[in-house]
C-alpha cells in the first residue's frame, strides 16, 4: 500500500537557522513521483518540487534543497537560513502507477520560524 510518513508534526526554529523536514514513503512500485508542497496560513497549497524515482540526483534551489535516497525511501527537504516567511505547513506527497492520478499526502509538518 502507498503511504507517506512525516513524523515531525511541529518544528520551531529561530530565524537564520537551517531546518530539515523528513519524509518517508512506502510503495510497491518501482516507478513513482514524489512532491513537496507548502501550505501557508492562507491555505493554498504551493508546489515546490517534483522528483521521479529514476532521478536520485539531489537538488538545490536557492535556500531550498532536497535529498532523495531510494535505499531508505526518504525524500527530505532542507531550508537553509530560514526566514519568517517560511512559516507554513509542508506536505510530502507520492504518486505511482498503482495510485494513478491521485496523490497520497503525508500529515504535514508545521514549521514556525521565530524572528
Partner 1 sequence: DTGVSQNPRHKITKRGQNVTFRCDPISEHNRLYWYRQTLGQGPEFLTYFQNEAQLEKSRLLSDRFSAERPKGSFSTLEIQRTEQGDSAMYLCASSPPGGSGRWEAYVGTDTQYFGPGTRLTVL
DSSP string, 33-79: EEEEEEE-TT---EEEEEEETT----EEETTEEEEEEGGGTEEEEEE
Partnered with residue 67 across adjacent β-strands are 76
Note whether 113 and 86 are within 8 A (CB). yes
Handedness of CA 112, 37, 102, 99 (dihedral sign): negative
Among 1, 41, 44, 71, binds partner 1 (CB under 8 A): 44
Closer residue to partner 1 (CB): 43 or 115: 43
- Binders of partner 1 among residues 50 to 109 (CB under 8 A) are 50, 52, 91, 93, 95-97, 100-108
Least gap, CB of 16 to partner 1 (angstroms): 28
Does 45 participate in binding partner 1 (rule CB under 8 A)? yes
Closer residue to partner 1 (CB): 65 or 107: 107
Kindly list the residues in this chain that would bind partner 1 in the complex (CB under 8 A): 4, 31-33, 35, 37, 42-47, 50, 52, 91, 93, 95-97, 100-108
Amino acid at each position: 500500500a502507498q503511504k507517506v510518513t512525516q513524523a515531525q508534526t511541529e518544528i520551531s526554529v529561530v530565524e537564520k537557522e537551517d531546518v530539515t523536514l523528513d519524509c518517508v514513503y512506502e510503495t510497491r512500485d518501482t516507478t513513482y513521483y514524489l512532491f513537496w508542497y507548502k501550505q501557508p496560513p492562507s491555505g493554498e497549497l504551493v508546489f515546490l518540487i517534483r522528483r521521479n524515482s529514476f532521478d536520485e540526483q539531489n537538488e538545490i534551489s536557492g535556500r531550498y534543497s532536497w535529498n532523495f535516497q531510494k535505499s531508505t525511501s526518504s525524500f527530505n527537504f532542507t531550508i537553509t537560513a530560514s526566514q519568517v516567511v517560511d512559516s507554513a505547513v509542508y506536505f510530502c506527497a507520492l504518486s505511482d502507477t498503482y495510485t494513478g492520478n491521485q496523490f497520497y499526502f503525508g500529515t504535514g509538518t508545521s514549521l514556525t520560524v521565530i524572528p
